[in-house]
Amino acid sequence: MKLYYSPGACSLSPHIALEEAGLKYEAILAPTKTKTLPDGSDYRKVNPLGYVPYLVLDDGTGLREGPAILQYVADQVPDKKLAPPSGSMARYQLQSWLNFIATELHKSFSPLFNPAFGADVKENFKARLIDRLKWVDGELAGKAYLMGDDFTVADGYLFVVTNWTKPTQIDLSPFPNLLAFRERVAARPAVQSVMKAEGLLG
């Protein structure tokens, strides 16, 4: 498999999932700004949409969109419990978390990185994010991870998205459960390995 990624972007989440899964893969740098791959070719020839993540399977099939890629990876190694079994209520709860992170958190961060948006607009998005993060903090009370005791692909996604609070100057100190969760995820060997591989850790 080949994972096209950009350091620190949402593609960090499937990168973590692949490492947690122990699957054989190749990570290929696809910078979101230049769209130029290491061999000098245009990334848009691989993924016409030009964004990451994008997973190419060994048979050449392409898969886009983080939540779909995450579930595909998890389903390759069911014994790792990175996702509950398909068709179970727990699986639908995982999908609920993935959709929430994608639509309520991930997409709300996007304007904060866009210089075209003014300060007032960004403050509105920050307020929305803080409200959602407060709710997440409550959901994490008494739990190691979003689904309970087991780390799932949703946890990797939440970790990646909440990494963006630092450059956007969103204070997480009012959310002790979320901070403790982030520490647990950050300490995982697979997360450490991928963060180093993407140049995010020394």
- Helices and strands counted in the chain (H then E): 8, 4
Q: Given the DSSP bridges, would you call strands 54-56 and 2-5 parallel, antiparallel or unpaired?
A: antiparallel
User: In whole angstroms, what is the distance from residue 174 CA to residue 166 CA?
Assistant: 14
DSSP one-letter string for 117-134: S-HHHHHHHHHHHHHHHH
175 and 97 assigned to the same domain: yes
pLDDT (tens digit per residue) in 139-197: 999 999 999 999 999 999 999 999 999 999 999 999 999 999 999 999 999 999 999 99
User: In whole angstroms, what is the distance from residue 103 CA to residue 171 CA?
Assistant: 21
The pLDDT of residue 96 is 98
In a domain, 59, yes or no: yes
94 and 170 assigned to the same domain: yes
Number of domains in the chain: 2
pLDDT (tens digit per residue) in 8-31: 999 999 999 999 999 999 999 999
Q: Considering the entire predicted model, what is its pTM?
A: 0.96
96 and 184 assigned to the same domain: yes
157 and 94 assigned to the same domain: yes
In a domain, 51, yes or no: yes
Q: Check which CATH number belongs to the domain holding 154 and give it.
A: 1.20.1050.10
Q: Is the peptide bond before 53 cis (omega within 30 degrees of 0)?
A: yes
What range does the domain containing 76 cover?
2-80+190-197
Q: Check which CATH number belongs to the domain holding 16 and give it.
A: 3.40.30.10
**Mean pLDDT, residues 125-139 taken together:** 97
